[in-house]
Structure formats: structure tokens, C-alpha cells
Structure 1
Amino acid sequence: MKFMKGSLLSTIFLLLTLVVLNNSYALTLSASASGELIPGTATYPNTVTNGDFMITGNHIATLVGNGIDEYTTWVFDFTSDTDYGAFSATDTLTSAWLTLTLTPKTGLITTDSMRINGLPVITDIIQSLAVGVTTTIEFELLTYYTSDQIMGEFASSVLGEIGMFYQDDAILSFASLDLTTAPVPEPATMLLFGLGILGLAGVSRKNI
């Protein structure tokens, strides 16, 4: 009889666990930046604002905004996402999906790179793009960075923002980043699970 009760308790516990797992959800925050395919131009040391992108030249390539030998920076601001309040900088990411639309302007695209501010550069997915062709590429940042590295930038400086850097032979016209955390149980489900555990504890005491 005790064996049957123990088996029943184990079954109930398993069912409660499955309820929690089935009612868990992954939280995703999204942010984007956009600009024109053909931005305005300026002469260094002036900069060019192309929508959400800031373009900076240098003392050698003095024409800014033509996509040749220049630096592009932008910020992914996640604070306007409706789920931002439920997102924690201590969460573990299961995905950090980056989308970029860019137009390489010279054959020197083979030397281009991009990065999250303060983190190592990414080169391989960019350097083989065709010159003069506007291309959209998508890739997983967790291939290059750890969750802690990305969330460290998310939490540093201005909370909820991730700064980006690109150099140096392309015009960027769109970028987006989706951050997805590991699934977490819904609060109501956790309450149900807790009540179930308390009930099982009560039943176990009565059978001792």
C-alpha cells in the first residue's frame, strides 16, 4: 500500500513538473536601427548622421558618407520593447540574432569588421560580400560571444542599450538584434507548482 502511495506521489510530482515546463516561455527583446541607402556626405572632421547610424571619417579619407574608409556606430535601444520590464541583465541568453543590411562600396570589404562595443571583432561573415550589392545577412552572435559578454554590455553604461561598431567600407542601412532568454515558468504556473509541492508534503507526513 505504501509502495502504491509512493508511486502515486511520484506520478503527481512528474505531472506538476510537466505543467511547469509546458507553461514556460522564452522572453525576446528586439531593437533596430535604420538609415538611407545613400546618406548625405560631409568633410572630415564633420560626421554624417544617417538615420540611427553615425558615420565618422578620418584624416586620410576626408569624404564622409561614401562608404569608403569610415566608421559607423549605432546603439540598439531595448528600453522601448514592451517586455523590457520583465527582462533581467542576469538572464542567460539562448539566442542573440543579428540582422544587418549593408552595401559594400569597395573591394576592401575583405578587410571590414564589426563588433559589439568592447568585444572582439567579427569578420568572416562580412568580408566575402559582393561590392555594390545591397545585402542582408543574419547570424547568431552567440557563435562569437558568450551570453555573459553580451549581457555585460546590455547592463553597462546605459542599462538596456548595446552599442555597435562597424568599419570601414560599406554603408549600413538597417540593423536589428533579438535577444532571447532561456524559458522561464509563468508566475501563475510557479504558484500552482508550489501549492502542489506543499500538498504532496502534507500527504507524505500523513503517511509517515
Structure 2
Amino acid sequence: MFKNYYWHGNRGEKTVYLTFDDGPTPLVTDYVINLLSQYGFKATFFCIGDKVNRYPETYRLLKNENHQIGNHTYHHLNAWTTKKNRYLDNIDECSKVVETKLFRPPYGRITSAVTQRLIKKGYKIVLWDVLSGDFDQSRTSESCLKNLKKNTRNGSIIVFHDSDKSFEKLKVILPEYLAFLKEKGWNSKSISQPKSI
């Protein structure tokens, strides 16, 4: 089943893939976009459909900056605790406002039945190989940053969150991490859509 997921990009290229989950969030997403722009980096934002409807201006800004967009369900559902059909319907509901065939399951939790259905619909299921920890209230910003620097490799997909919950930590971690990437010669690109898009 693991071969059905996109865990990382090309290990031979000096490129990483910054990703942001749980937005769009006013102020937070704006902050991230501005910071990425300073470094000339592109990223992929896995958006919650309900928040896209609530904050259309923030979502529009995200699209106007030519970052890639992904589906993160309409209500941030957990596939392990949600009935399959309800979960798939929630993805479909999100797809009405987020036009994409990139999907990341909230919490990184997905079932084989959902995976098979999404693949038939042409989705690329994006996971990651480096987790920033910005959402974890028990961790310090310093430990998150140390972990990021230690585990980043060519092709890494790195997860951050453009959410209110993560903002305080993100403001500490992200500027330093982007400076680290630049110093080490890494570029950040958006994750490409499947060929069917």
C-alpha cells in the first residue's frame, strides 16, 4: 500500500517541498506567503474546504501567488474514525471549492479502501518524510528547528501548519528554517499535480 503514497521528491535534486496544512487562516497564511516570497520559495497548501468558504480573500491571495493547492477534506476528518462513505463525501465537498487532485489526509491517517477509491479518481496522495512539530504544544521551538535541520534531505516533503494553533511556534521556526535552506543551497518547489490535471 505504501507505493500508493507520495512520500518525497527526487533525492538527486537540491530541492525540498514545503507544505502547509489546515489553512487558509487569516494573518497566518498571509504571514507564510510573505515569508516565502522573500526567499523566492514556492509551497503546497493543503486547504480545509470549510475554511476556504469562510476566508475566500485569504484563499484568493494564496492562489494569486501561484502556490500549489491540495485537498485536506472539508471538515478536517480523521479517516480512522469516520465511515468511508462520509469521508469520501467530505473530500468531494472540499473539491467543489478546492480544484486539485492533490490530497493529504488529516493527521496522516488513511485507510486502504479510501486510498483505492482516490487513486481511481486520479488523486495523488501526499504524505511526508519530515514533520516540523509546530502543532505540538509539548515541544519547544528549538527542538522543532533542530529536528528539521537534522532530517531535511534532497526531495524532502516538510509539513508545517498555517493555523492559529501553530502560529506562535511557526513565527519562530519558519524564518530560521527558510534561512537554513537558503544557506545550504536548497530550493523549495510546489508539488506537481497528477498528469490528469
Q: Is the pair's TM-score, using the shorter chain for normalization, greater than 0.5?
A: no
More helix per residue: 2
| Higher Cα radius of gyration | 1
More strand per residue: 1
TM-score category of the 2 structures, normalised to the smaller one: under 0.3
TM-score (structure 1 length as normaliser): 0.22
